[in-house]
């Protein structure tokens, strides 16, 4: 079986699972394609979604896009059903999406529908007319049942080749892994150096000047990590392991703040960064490093 056939089969498997969640007679089926549109020297990326849902005109469908395996959505599109179909044009983005599989989801939620759409659905599905008595027991019961309904459909769209996705994944893991290693080492070094300077029996060589020299070096190393992550992140609209990237950038900021906080405590140096004190900075560093490790699956 070819990789394309395997991907197509997986897409239909997800679609089938989505249909099972739909209430009878109202399946949601999706198709999607990714395109990079060139206009002169400008290239824009877009995802086009074509959906089918057996709902009345005006029904609201929320369409989301995320990298497969990621929790964070790249964007949401508010679509409306017309003639049992709906479309979503997601983008444009000025940079291409990272290679890999993306999940397109479409959600129907009763609570987000207009009163006219709700009446039409109740009439079609339950055979009920509102008339003038909206408090009839059968109508009240039908509305209670509908209010719990969420209908879901999904499909996959592939961006780039499988080989390109594998190469980008390998590069991303290498870069983020190196950033994690550097930040972990810096956090340990900063805390140990602070303990040396806070020791009442510290050696004569442990002075304000040696602290400031160490601070300059730490800030420079943090800047290198910041710039490497920023260059990598800015190359595309999406990246693999976005949680690790966000956590890493938060750790960089928290380490800057921790350095300034310790300098203020030890030598009354001015602080350019403030995150609510050194204890808060330490907590953010530990949590951020743990989040990076977890997202990388190490």
- Output the six-digit token pair for 138: 């059968």
CATH of the domain at 263: 1.20.120
Residue with tokens 């509305």: 143
Q: What percentage of the chain carries pLDDT values higher than 90?
A: 53
Domain check: are 177 and 280 in the same one?
yes
Alpha-helical (H) ranges within the chain are 3-21, 115-126, 137-147, 162-198, 208-234, 242-267, 278-296
Q: Supply the mean pLDDT for the chain.
A: 83
Q: What percentage of the chain carries pLDDT values higher than 70?
A: 81
Q: Which of 160, 194, 219 is the last residue of a domain?
A: 160
Domain check: are 24 and 118 in the same one?
yes
Is the pLDDT at 123 greater than 90? The verdict is no
Domain check: are 7 and 154 in the same one?
yes
Residues 132-163: tens digit of each pLDDT? 445 555 555 555 555 656 778 899 999 999 89
Bin 245: left if φ > 0, else alpha if -120 < ψ < 50, else beta.
alpha
Cα–Cα distance, 117 to 14 (Å, whole number):
27
Cα–Cα distance, 27 to 19 (Å, whole number):
5
Domain check: are 151 and 171 in the same one?
no
| β 42-53/85-93 pair status | antiparallel
pTM: 0.72
> Terminal CA-to-CA distance of the chain, rounded, Å?
31
Cis peptide before 92 (omega within 30 of 0): yes
Is the pLDDT at 1 greater than 50? The verdict is no
Residues 28-64: tens digit of each pLDDT? 999 999 999 887 788 889 999 999 998 999 999 999 9
Domain check: are 82 and 140 in the same one?
yes
pLDDT band, residue 251 (cuts 50/70/90): very high
Note whether 143 and 123 are within 8 A (CB). Answer: no
Domain check: are 24 and 171 in the same one?
no
Q: What is the largest CA-CA distance in the chain?
A: 91
Q: Which of 109, 134, 160 is the last residue of a domain?
A: 160
How crowded is residue 27: how many other Cβ atoms within 10 Å of its Cβ? 18
Find the length of the chain.
298
Distances (CA, A) of 219 to 186, 216, 230: 10, 5, 16
Residues 68-108: tens digit of each pLDDT? 888 889 999 999 999 999 999 999 998 889 999 999 999 99
pLDDT band, residue 20 (cuts 50/70/90): very low
Domain check: are 145 and 24 in the same one?
yes
- Output the six-digit token pair for 31: 């198709």
Instruction: Supply the pLDDT for residue 25.
Output: 41
Q: What is the CA radius of gyration of the chain?
A: 27
- Output the six-digit token pair for 102: 């993306």
Domain check: are 212 and 95 in the same one?
no
Total of domains in the chain: 2
Domain check: are 61 and 77 in the same one?
yes
- Output the six-digit token pair for 153: 């459909």
For residue 112, give the 3-state DSSP assignment: helix
Domain check: are 66 and 128 in the same one?
yes
Residues 208-236: tens digit of each pLDDT? 999 999 999 999 999 999 999 999 998 88
CATH of the domain at 99: 2.60.40.10
Domain check: are 34 and 64 in the same one?
yes
Q: How many CA atoms lie within 13 A of 57 on its CB side?
A: 2
- Output the six-digit token pair for 40: 């002169």
Domain check: are 122 and 230 in the same one?
no
pLDDT band, residue 111 (cuts 50/70/90): confident
pLDDT band, residue 274 (cuts 50/70/90): low
Q: What is the domain range of residue 82?
A: 3-160
């Amino acid at each position: 079986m070819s990789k394309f056939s395997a991907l197509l089969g997986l897409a239909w498997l997800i679609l089938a699972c989505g249909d099972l969640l739909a209430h009878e007679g109202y399946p949601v089926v999706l198709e999607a394609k990714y395109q990079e549109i060139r206009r002169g020297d400008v290239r824009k990326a877009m995802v086009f979604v074509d959906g089918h849902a057996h709902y009345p005109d005006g029904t609201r469908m929320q369409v989301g896009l995320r990298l497969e395996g990621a929790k964070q959505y790249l964007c949401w599109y508010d679509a409306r059903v017309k003639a049992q179909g709906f479309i979503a044009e997601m983008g444009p983005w000025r940079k291409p999406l990272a290679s890999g599989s993306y999940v397109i989801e479409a959600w129907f939620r009763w609570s987000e529908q207009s009163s006219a759409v709700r009446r039409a659905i109740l009439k079609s599905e339950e055979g009920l007319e509102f008339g003038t008595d909206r408090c009839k027991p059968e109508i009240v019961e039908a509305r209670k049942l509908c209010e719990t309904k969420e209908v879901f459909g999904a499909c996959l769209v592939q961006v780039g080749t499988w080989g390109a996705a594998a190469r980008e994944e390998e590069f991303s893991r290498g870069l983020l892994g190196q950033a994690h290693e550097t930040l972990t080492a810096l956090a340990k070094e900063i805390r140990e150096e602070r303990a040396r300077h806070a020791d009442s029996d510290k050696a004569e060589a442990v002075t304000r000047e040696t602290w400031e020299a160490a601070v300059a070096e730490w800030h420079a190393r943090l800047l290198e990590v910041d710039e490497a992550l920023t260059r990598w992140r800015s190359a595309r609209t999406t990246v693999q392991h976005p949680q690790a990237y966000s956590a890493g950038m938060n750790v960089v900021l928290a380490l800057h703040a921790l350095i300034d906080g310790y300098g203020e405590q030890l030598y009354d140096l001015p602080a350019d960064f403030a995150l609510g004190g050194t204890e808060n900075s330490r907590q953010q560093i530990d949590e951020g490093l743990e989040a990076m490790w977890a997202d990388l699956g190490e």
